[in-house]
């Protein structure tokens, strides 16, 4: 038996030297140490030996088994390390190769302009307020000096939810809510979406954005309004920008004006963008109507104020030379990535 065990161990060691992968190693281990393996067969036959020889024979078999298991473990570890080393060599990363370009996101042009406007007016002491997009008829019309059957209502095609609830047509509704909560002095801007039943084309949309501004205090005059808007136009379109006021009409301001800025593309000489006039309309404004102040329980004999409304989408189109306002809402990545 001792010779047989020695022969099995030596033969197995020789075979282990030529094993090249784990599959072959597992097959050899089953052949020698498996349930029906050679060494297991010898161990099973120990019962046929005389009782006094069984302990010594058992020790010889166990010693051989221990040597073989250690050899198999050593071979397995060696194969694993060789396989890992080969894998690392084949899959190593060459850090000298340029990596994939990770595309960076950016702000939407409307957001860029909105932030710029907020920065400008905040630097002048204006606070930024918010107001609901779903409004009542009172805040959107009546408190702004636009009662039932007022002809100015025909200027705005309104989305009504009920007879009294609607989608706001103007951020001017935020004026009333602010003046109800805060008494003069007031300096505020309100930026948000407004809604009007309008056809979609290159210059119109049923959803667009307005910037509402309001100042109420003692001795506020049209000169204050002109000074603020002149300064804004130069900040936004360039230091050489000029402005002009044209008489207009809004029910919540009196007097009312439309404000034009000299064309930033031709410097006022006339071009395709300004249709040869040298001017581009940028906003509407005026002195707050006395009735509006009264509706907010502010004494118009003590306080005066001015208000202005800027189309955020319009000045964004002008600043970036966008020829179709629909591009601002379609989220086409080919358009948006230009502003990254």
Structure-model confidence comparison of residues 259 and 155, the more confident one: 259
pLDDT of 287 > 90? The answer is yes
Dihedral (CA of 230, 234, 236, 241) sign: positive
pLDDT of 80 > 90? The answer is no
pLDDT of 61 > 80? The answer is no
Structure-model confidence comparison of residues 8 and 164, the more confident one: 164
User: Which whole number is the average pLDDT over 103-119?
Assistant: 91
Q: What is the pLDDT of residue 155?
A: 65
Strands 165-167 and 134-136: antiparallel
User: Which whole number is the average pLDDT over 226-230?
Assistant: 96
Angle between helices 312-320 and 109-123 (to 10 degrees): 110
Percent of the chain residues topping a pLDDT of 70: 98
Helices (H), the chain: 2-18, 22-33, 38-44, 54-91, 109-123, 137-140, 173-181, 222-237, 290-295, 312-320, 327-330, 333-336
Structure-model confidence comparison of residues 74 and 95, the more confident one: 74
pLDDT of 116 > 80? The answer is yes
User: Which whole number is the average pLDDT over 204-217?
Assistant: 93
Task: Give domain limits for the chain.
Answer: 2-91, 109-339
Phi, psi of 126, rounded to the nearest 5 degrees? -75, 140
pLDDT of 180 > 80? The answer is yes
Q: Model-level pTM?
A: 0.67
pLDDT of 69 > 90? The answer is no
Q: What is the pLDDT of residue 97?
A: 65
User: Which whole number is the average pLDDT over 74-102?
Assistant: 80
> Could you give the angle at the alpha carbon of 167 between the alpha carbons of 166 and 168, nearest 5°?
105
Q: What is the pLDDT of residue 257?
A: 96
pLDDT of 244 > 80? The answer is yes
State which fold the 109-339 domain adopts.
Answer: BirA Bifunctional Protein; domain 2 (3.30.930)
Of the ranges 23-27, 201-205, 238-242, 286-290, which is most confident? 286-290
């Amino acid at each position: 038996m001792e010779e047989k065990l020695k022969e099995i161990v030596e033969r197995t060691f020789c075979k282990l030297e030529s094993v090249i992968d784990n599959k072959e190693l597992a097959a050899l281990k089953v052949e020698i140490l498996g349930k029906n393996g050679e060494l297991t067969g010898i161990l099973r036959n120990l019962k046929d030996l005389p009782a006094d020889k069984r302990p010594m024979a058992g020790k010889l078999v166990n010693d051989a088994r221990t040597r073989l298991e250690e050899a198999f473990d050593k071979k397995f570890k060696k194969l694993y390390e060789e396989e890992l080393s080969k894998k690392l060599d084949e899959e190593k990363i060459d850090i000298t190769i340029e990596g994939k370009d990770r595309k960076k996101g950016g702000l939407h042009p409307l957001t860029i302009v909105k932030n710029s406007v907020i920065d400008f007016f905040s630097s002048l002491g204006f606070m930024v307020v918010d107001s609901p997009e779903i409004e009542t008829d009172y805040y959107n019309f009546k408190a702004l000096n636009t009662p039932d059957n007022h002809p100015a209502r025909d200027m705005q095609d309104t989305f009504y939810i009920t007879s009294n609830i609607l989608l706001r047509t103007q951020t001017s509704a935020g004026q009333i809510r602010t003046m109800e909560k805060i008494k003069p002095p007031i300096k505020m801007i309100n930026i948000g979406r407004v809604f009007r039943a309008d056809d979609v084309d290159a210059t119109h949309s049923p959803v667009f954005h307005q910037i509402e501004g309001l100042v109420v205090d003692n001795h506020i005059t049209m000169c204050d309004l002109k000074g603020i808007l002149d300064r804004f136009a130069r900040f936004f379109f360039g230091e050489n920008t000029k402005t002009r006021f044209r008489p207009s009409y809004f029910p919540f301001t009196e007097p009312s004006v439309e404000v034009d800025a000299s064309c930033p593309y031709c410097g006022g000489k006339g071009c395709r963008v300004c249709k040869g006039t040298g001017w581009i309309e940028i906003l509407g404004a005026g002195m707050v109507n006395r009735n509006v102040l009264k509706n907010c329980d502010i004494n118009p004999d003590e306080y005066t104020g001015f208000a202005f409304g800027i189309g955020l989408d319009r000045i964004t189109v002008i600043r970036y030379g966008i020829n179709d306002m629909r591009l601002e809402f379609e989220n086409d990545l080919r358009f948006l990535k230009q502003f990254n």
